[in-house]
Structure 1
């Protein structure tokens, strides 16, 4: 049974009460303090101090400090007045004290739950604000990159138009030159006919004015059959080279080849497989299928350290974070995967659908349904015949419109 502390001291003013409780040599780490508006308790086994206050105090603005072998309470009175005594006049009524003690515990529990909810709500609001700011910065960066691309395209188009004008001018000059040559040869033939009818002079004759030989007209020779050799350029994609996406496809191939290069690592403890990001990706896929999402994350993260340009590593790790409820990390990995899945070509359309879907799902779990719908609509543009995507997008749209509960 605990030993009650009786040798405490107290002082007061109109607005405050000061209580000093000796700790009897007990270490401060073992002191437990509990307080409400009408009840104080200091527990430091085997000692116990309980105080049922004469009147209510403001517990939120009150304080308790431990030091120099004492616990010092500074309590703020709710009503400015001088108390005739520290504790309530019901101190001898055990039933009343028991009821006050139970009320204090219930009040403390409710206050703790309320503050926990407030902290959780504040954290959610802070995360939401941070996410919006990050999205704003990301949007500004994307707009800047888009401006640079538009400027480069405009400059390229201007260069192309200038080249076309130059080619057109050269073609016109060539036509004028050929026309002048034809007129000159026609004039020479007319002059030669006047000098010697029935003879055709060679260019050598016209220069020295002497006709030596007549040009004999030979019968036309029969053309011999020939062959036309046709060669085909090797293509890694099924599309024709003349199509406008050929350049983008070649760029995508180059990026994938670069991404599959294995980086050298200085850790001699790793096996040859552990140095291969593709092997680590497959290992992570196996962990994911068995439901071991944390092990899959570790495998993908190690692969990213070896090769940070493979979009599948980020997209797969985003799926693991989504399974574990790590929505912010899922958003980051999905966005990184989409940045690496450029240029957008048919060969990476399925991967872009997965990244958009995972990021959209993470947005919806954070109750950012408008942003989530944008990702689902982007995925639908790539796979318009996917019924699951269409149903999910419709459901998100209904939540935004308020016709379906969240």
Structure 2
């Protein structure tokens, strides 16, 4: 049985009625408001406010707002006059029952109409977007076709010019041969040419160019080597890693009971990770641990969250927790592919550091060697690995 609200307040002018309903600490998302021309309902369990209006109002222009701990309803009167009372007398039980039933039916029809209008609007927007995309694609195809036609015309013109140029030497050679033939026929001597200079003239023999000498050019080529890339043998592992990364991005346990009071951004693991990184950068390691822990509650498949929290635990000297988080990160960083190599190096180093601080130098050395195997050119790793070897060797000598 709902608890009826009686401590509401209302005021009016000749054209407007203002109703204020206290929300008793309820959130805005929990408040359900139904408003028609003669019926008002504000429901937030277990409380209920009902008003059967004494005069009809214009429901299309009326407004309901929720804020500052109250529901504020502004009703526009259909006739400008002052009301003697807000609601119908309690004696009109049958009238109230009928008004309630009509109001609920009308509200349901209004919701259905709004849903249908929204669906139609979405369909219209989708059709418009589809037409726009088709138009853009058609314009793109026409543009590409125009470029092809222009290139074809240009190529044909160049080809025709080249062919015409190829015929010109042949025509010149034929005309030269004909001229020499005519000269030789007119003169019994060997081929001569006549050169006039002023009033004098003399004959000169025509010397044809000697045939071109043949020869060979030595050409050497760089040998082409096609080594099989390492990645070609790791395609399956890389595809598995990409699949796991995509699955991790889709995973989010935002519906957990203890997370319902969080803000919208606090339900985003990426936002929490950035917050943890900022806290770590400023030295707030406890705040960083809290941020990473909440992000892990939301998504337990992101290895960087565990690895970053392990770094915080190292700063706070929570060495066993650092080992646990580093191990969890390495479990998620499988299969081992180049894309996650840097992350695996960090996880091994953090777990090795925790082992060394617990004076388990042999275990720590194994972790550093595993990191060095992934990144053998890392000078810092080489130096740290050698230091751990020296510590182990010194302790052996002392024993």
TM-score band, normalised by the shorter chain? 0.3 to 0.5
- Which TM-score applies when normalising by structure 1? 0.45
> What TM-score do the two structures reach when normalised by structure 2?
0.45
